[in-house]
Structure 1
């Protein structure tokens, strides 16, 4: 499949999915509402759902990077290091995902506790999280969706047989689902509740990413055992 691939188009797809991850990571500095009270409470008021997609899309970028490396390195050498690197990268990402989930859960419970603690807790919640920047979030989500569509088009143009790679197709569909889920949740509730659903979406996306990380690690273990037997 790699021999018959249109390599320039594939490299464009690699760059585009890399840009997608960078946009998702940088969105944490753009989405939110800077409130002095947040600093005194020592909590994050930045949007978490969009940046959480960087783990999921980072896995797609990693898969593309492995294919790009396979175009350069000899297959025998590449097959030996791929499994080991996948296990190491997967373990680091899984730990990061689990830590992120627990931090987000703690913050979600704090937000819900304050919201329900009428009247002073509710007032504190509204001051810190009551004005989520949905405008910037929607712009970021639209840009990310556009980049993902461009990536998919380039991937198919580079090699139509990518459509037969069930694992790759499924993780890309999961990425699109995460994008649509976040956009849907942002428009589901009044503005002062968006911060709560943003945190819920971040947790869901991290769980999806963790599942895919485990799948990658299992593949890496099988690949390592096969390469050294």
Structure 2
């Protein structure tokens, strides 16, 4: 396969870890701004009398943080490549299958819970928005003023880090490009990031939270699919490790 360039691989690991850290911290980095004035304007457009408004803030959204479900697979895969720098091929072969099985099960369970949470929240959003005028006002107070600009900055940073991750993996070992699973993973996580940014720009700001939650639902499903792929893929490695261990035991 050719020599693995260790510095590039370690930098790739750093890039994808930073990307997932930004995604997980999105809830703290976006939202929280005062949305009282915007709520009063919307109420006036609906011809609804509104009293004093206070404590109304922009939501942080779920879409960006749910990208971390998909990128957990990227971190795991890159981590396995890095593990080869520390362990022998025989030891890694025995450990990798079981570890991947455990990771896949955890990812599937977390994705299912996240999917349920996003679905319930989306149902509440749509129900309130359609229950005009007071339900719509309640929706606006909770989710109607999405911080599109702040989210765009974070998604731009995440996309840059993911591009760096893919480029550094290729620099570490050009033949990684022949790994169809890895290429599919890189394309999946890049596409998810671009799609979320597209959804944020697709509709007026009062509806962005709904599309952001739809994006979160999609990312949960994508992560669930990748979890199943990892689960199925780990089985042959476990079987092989068991057979090798059994053969060694018979010889002894």
TM, length-normalised to structure 1: 0.93
Aligned to 2:72: 58
Bigger relative contact order, structure 1 or 2 (CA pairs below 8 A, ≥6 apart):
1
Alpha-carbon offset, residue 7 of structure 1: 0.7
Q: Paired residue for 2:141, among 127, 140, 147?
A: 127
> How many residues get paired?
222
Give the conservation status (yes or no) of the 8 Å contact 2:16–2:162: yes
For residues 208 and 32 of structure 2, the distance between their equivalents in structure 1, rounded to whole angstroms, comes to: 12
Larger Rg: 2
Question: What is the rounded CA distance, in whole Å, between the counterparts of 2:34 and 2:114 in structure 1?
Answer: 23
5+ residue gaps, structure 2, are 37-57, 244-252
Query: How far, CA to CA, are the matches of 1:211 and 1:34 in structure 2?
Result: 35
**Separation (CA, whole Å) in 2 of partners of 1:84 and 1:179:** 30
Equivalents in 2 of 1:5, 1:123: separation in Å?
A: 58
Distance 2:204 2:129 in 1: 14
Aligned equivalents of 1:9 and 1:99: distance in 2?
A: 35
**Alignment match, 1:31:** 30
RMSD: 1.7
2-side partners of 1:155 and 1:78: how far apart? 20
Structure-2 separation of matches of 1:35 and 1:199: 21
- The aligned residue for residue 164 of structure 1 is 178
Q: Which ranges of structure 1 fall in alignment gaps of 5 or more residues?
A: 38-43
Structure 1 runs, 4 residues or longer, greater than 6 Å off: none
CA distance in 2, matches of 1:31, 1:106: 22
Residue in structure 2 matching 1:109, options 112, 123, 128: 123
Which of 189, 195, 204 is the aligned partner of 1:190?
Answer: 204
Shift of 1:33: 3.9
